[in-house]
Structure 1
């Protein structure tokens, strides 16, 4: 047996023995290196303490490789219950696991060190900011909030306050009393009756521009405050805003009319509120007008959604706020903010809306909540009175003919006052140059120079030089609340070939006016038996004015009838009305405004449809109005003896 053992030992090659010894040495070096890594990771002292806590200190100091590997396992995996020493053939595998675990520890430590470094940097920044804030606070407490820069800006503002311009002439000439508003007596009486009541009503004012709607509303509030039965106090607010500037913000970030909420993050709430994440409601014009009047000019131009939200405020008499940032349980919320979110802001006011639109163009829900008042267009005599009153408030003297000349170029009170102001400025400039007058007199020449510089044209056309004219008639049109006289003319020639005549009409007048031409042609054949195909007929609206509507039907018929028959039409007659192909006169809109236009143009007779008789103004002095049902009545009036004698 001993012989066999010796033989076995003798056959082991020296190279394998050397390899085995080299592997053991490599393992020892690896173990030593791992302990070195742990020492740098934890520190030598902390590694000894860690090994003692995990019952690995004796094993770590052992000369046996198995003990040292077991010590590594206990330290790295933090498990003191490991008792089984690893076998020699398992040691390389165990060391690989230990290396991976140590690599994870190193990676984690690197991340933690980077994070700790960033945290320390941030803490240092915050510390410096905090120190700076405390320093600023101390300075404010000792010196106040001012510094050289803020004091400089304050001085600049104070300097700006010292520079003031005089009142504008328009502000000076604006009416201050109810009696100074011209041409709106009936509307003013209605306005005051609605406001002086113990139960004032919301109001919609319709009318053309420049007739005193805004001024009347402002003065009416002062008058109502004097009335014993009115709920308005003497200091009741009058808040004025232009509806064209009010737009609905779908994000609900800003709403100057109703108010909005400034959240603490994006919208610049006060710093003390932003720091505690508390939203801050901003009150709108409806709350500013509480107890008074909110006047919205051009209310018809407001966004429909905003109009509907305004209606809700009119019903509730309060504005409610909402915000996802509001926490009712937050003890840091100030009382006024809590009250606004929980109870809303008061908004008990009277709405007065003014518009140049027609009633059917206004929100029906808004109309149903308001009483409606109509301001009338101004006639030349009223414009002259406005100019004379403005001249008195301006303390100037008018040369004869100035007021009348202004009335020829505008029907708007505001425009008339502006023309007077321009002429007054020119008179002042002329007085400075001449140095010969000691008082200001606004002359006709001053006004004519203003008119030329402004490229103005007479609003009221000049009366024709003839009393009768063939193929020409005065039609009546209306745009908004402003009526106008439209000249319609027609010429007729025998066609070069019988039965092949043509009927032409200028396209700029509109498609419905073309239909009126063909309707008139049909009625003409029905009434007179004339075959229009035997004539070349051209119908024209003088000036290219748009008469895109059926109301020019009667006027077009008369122009064609006169051109073909040769019968003249009196110049002092104006007509309006739709004509059916059976010769019936149908009702049209805007009769009130059209009659005003006829009076301004110097007409003495007006034809209107019978069904529009109720729309005729009560005061038609100087104007005879005929209400007709059929075309035969029109022909009898226009070409009858009574009209000839009147002309």
Structure 2
């Protein structure tokens, strides 16, 4: 299958292009090209135009300023590359997304939960709440799959000791990556539970997986690209649905891949151990009286 080149591969293309035109180029210049070029063709163009500027000034090397000028003139924007947060935080979870042709990215999911004075509320930002499907002459609007995933999350958490009606909950997807799918389900559930119970989330764990209303972790798409993105972002472990686990995934070295079937497993793997004071079981209903006594 086709995939976009990663940053390191684009940098190699740029180095080869510079050698081909017999131009020297510094590491800063190579890194800059890797940051802005989306593919091999753009990398080669950046090198060739910069080399042309050097030749006009009778230089045998490409200056960083040459590349900066080409980037500015071409109105290129840096690629989105996120790294894990350096320390554990409450309500911050490393989700995973796919954009473009099989390109993965780390997706920070932020959640806050404030005790509501009256009836609680749930606010979700950074996703499409409704989407239009159809042609130019006829279209219909349907509820976003991502918004439906939020509803699933809240249903599952009610079967734990999280009662969303008592909180003003805000779930945010920063970073500008288009989000419209259910694969962030387990990450959202983890974030909401963390925010409500003030529990720290392991910053070295990334995760992806749809969640059912019974707390089961369902398969998703783009798992290979997501695992690669988790590794590149600095995660030490990545949680994926058990049904997505395939032998070829073990060829990815440098990150522990953990398949799960239940949300309970996700919580046990993700929350910092010193904060795990209670046994989690999505099949055990905790009524409102019990929840308030915890």
Aligned to 2:234: 602
Partner of 1:489: 110
Residue of structure 1 aligned with 2:69, choices 434, 437, 449: 449
SS in 1 for 2:19: helix
Please say if 1:509 is aligned against 2:125.
Answer: no
Q: Give the Cα separation in 1 of the matches to 2:151 and 2:42.
A: 40
5+ long unaligned stretches in structure 2: 130-143, 275-294
Aligned twin of 2:178: 546
In the TM superposition, residue 616 of structure 1 has moved relative to its aligned partner by 5.4
Q: Does 1:207 align with 2:2?
A: yes
- Contact 2:152/2:213, CA 8 A, preserved across alignment: yes
2:65, 2:273 → 1: CA distance?
Answer: 45
Identify which of 90, 97, 114 aligns with 1:470. Answer: 90
- Is the 1:595–1:616 contact (alpha carbons within 8 Å) kept by the matching residues of 2? no
- Give SS of 1:509's match: coil
Q: CA-to-partner distance for each residue in 1:165-222, whole Å, 9 max, x for gaps?
A: xxxxxxxxxxxxxxxxxxxxxxxxxxxxxxxxxxxxxxxxx313xxxxxxxxxxxxxx
Counterpart Cα distance in 2 of 1:503 and 1:635: 21
User: Is the contact between residue 409 and residue 460 of structure 1 (CA under 8 Å) also seen in structure 2?
Assistant: no
Listed as ranges, the matches of 1:269-280 within 5 Å are none
SS at match of 1:492: strand
The answer as to whether partners of 2:14 and 2:44 remain within 8 angstroms in 1 is yes
Taking a change above 3 Å as real, the CA distance of residues 541 and 424 of structure 1, as seen in their structure-2 partners, is same
With a CA cutoff of 8 Å and minimum separation of 6, indicate the structure with the bigger relative contact order: 2
Cα distance between partner residues in 2 of 1:388 and 1:399: 9
SS class of match (2:169): strand
CA positional deviation for 1:406: 2.0
SS in 2 for 1:474: strand
Contact kept? 1:509, 1:544, Cα under 8 Å? no
Q: Output the aligned Cα RMSD.
A: 2.4
Q: Which residue matches 2:23?
A: 396
- Whose Rg is larger? 1
TM normalised by structure 1 equals 0.38
Work out the number of aligned pairs and report it. 259
Q: Which moved more, 1:557-566 or 1:402-411?
A: 402-411
Q: TM-score, normalised by structure 2?
A: 0.79
**Which SS does the other structure have where 1:455 is aligned?**
coil
Are the aligned partners of 1:379 and 1:596 in contact in 2 as well (CA < 8 Å)?
no
Q: Say whether 1:526 aligns with 2:141.
A: no
Whole-angstrom distance in 2 between the partners of 1:486 and 1:413: 25
Question: How far apart are 1:615 and its partner, in Å?
Answer: 7.2
Q: 1:456 to 1:622 in 2, by over 3 A?
A: farther
Gaps of 5+ in 1: 1-205, 209-376, 432-437, 643-647
SS of the aligned residue for 2:105 comes to strand
Instruction: Supply the distance in 2 between the matched residues of 1:560 and 1:471 (Cα, whole angstroms).
Output: 7
Specify which structure has the higher proportion of strand.
2
Deviation, 1:467, is 1.8
Q: CA deviation at 1:426?
A: 3.5
Compared CA separation, residues 428 and 565, structure 1 to 2 (3 A): farther
Offset of residue 460 of structure 1: 4.0
Residue of structure 1 in register with 2:6 after alignment: 379
1:462 Cα deviation after fit: 4.8
* Correspondence list, 1:314-393, <5 A: 377-393=4-20
- Alpha-carbon distance in 1 for matches of 2:230, 2:88: 17
Q: For 1:589 and 1:462, locate their aligned partners in 2 and report how far apart those are by CA, in whole Å.
A: 20
Change (3 A) 1:548 1:381: same
CA deviation string 1:268-305 (max 9, x = no partner): xxxxxxxxxxxxxxxxxxxxxxxxxxxxxxxxxxxxxx
Tell me, yes or no, if the aligned pair for 1:470 and 1:568 is still in contact at 8 Å. Answer: yes
Query: 1:461 aligns to what SS in structure 2?
Result: coil
Mapped to 1, the partners of 2:55 and 2:193 lie a distance apart of 56
Mark the CA change 1:525 to 1:384 in structure 2 (over 3 Å): closer, same or farther: same
Structure with the largest fraction of helix = 1
